[in-house]
Amino acid sequence: MFEELEKGQTLRDVIMEVLRQGPASISQLAKRLKEPYNLDLHRLALAGYLKSLADVGLLEEREIPPAKVYALRPTQSTPTLYDAIARRVRDLGLAEPEATKLIVQVLHDLFHRPIFREELRRAGFDVVSGLRDATADERQAARRLFAKSPLRLPFNDPAYLPPTPAGDEGHELRDAARGVLAALVRHEFHATNLAQTTRQATLGAP
């Protein structure tokens, strides 16, 4: 059934998107997932998944006999762009080195500059081998962009560029980065159901 999820999309994304339209019972959610998302989940499996989302604080669970109703839980703080991108990358289930290279590629494609170590830390990542060090001039030019930003960089914070493209691996990395950015835009504007669904891509997959 998960072949129907679009590239970079998760079941959690779809459920959250459906619940933005309003609270729903398990049976109502099952119907909405089946049409238009073509996700046919067993009721017990869906109930367990909704319970887990409620347990981690993403959903509210309400008893409205004879059914349980789920709704989005109001968040106390708005996630940052780094949080949103990191969650998309983490959802792909990549090993840490591949995930780190991917988030550097995504941020580089988005900002067209080297990515500082502090930015990686904000996203929950650390530096791995395979990244390219930015030159002093590249780092200084990028650092000037933070003059009016609330994000403060440590003194002499290093900055990195994506790995040097090499054959198919380079194409896979760039394609995966485009998939993450496209999924973010569709999610932000509640347009995931307008995209033709494809199997989720994984770096290094045959």
pLDDT in tens, the chain (206 residues): 334 445 456 788 888 878 887 889 999 999 988 876 788 889 999 999 999 988 878 898 988 878 889 988 876 445 789 989 998 999 898 999 999 999 999 999 999 999 999 999 888 899 999 999 999 999 999 999 998 787 888 889 999 999 987 777 778 999 999 999 999 998 888 888 888 755 444 565 54
Token representation of residue 111: 């900002």
At 204 the pLDDT is 55
Amino acid occupying residue 52: S
Q: Which of 115, 116, 23 is nearest to 74 (CA)?
A: 23
The pTM score is 0.62
At 2 the pLDDT is 38
At 77 the pLDDT is 46
At 33 the pLDDT is 87
Domains of the chain: 7-72 (1.10.10.10), 81-194 (no CATH)
At 206 the pLDDT is 45
Q: What is the DSSP string of the chain?
A: -GGGSPTT--HHHHHHHHHTT--EEHHHHHHHHHTTT-----HHHHHHHHHHHHHTTSEEEEEETTEEEEEEPPPSSPPPHHHHHHHHHHHTT--HHHHHHHHHHHHHHHHSS-EEHHHHHHTT----TTPEEPPHHHHHHHHHTTTTSSPPPPTT--EEEPPPP-HHHHHHHHHHHHHHHHHHHHHHTT-GGGSPP-PPP-TT--
Report CA torsion sign: 74, 79, 84, 87.
negative
What pairing do the DSSP bridges indicate for beta strands 132-133 and 24-25?
unpaired
At 45 the pLDDT is 93
| CB of 106 closer than 8 Å to CB of 180 | yes
Q: Which of 105, 126, 123 is nearest to 114 (CA)?
A: 105
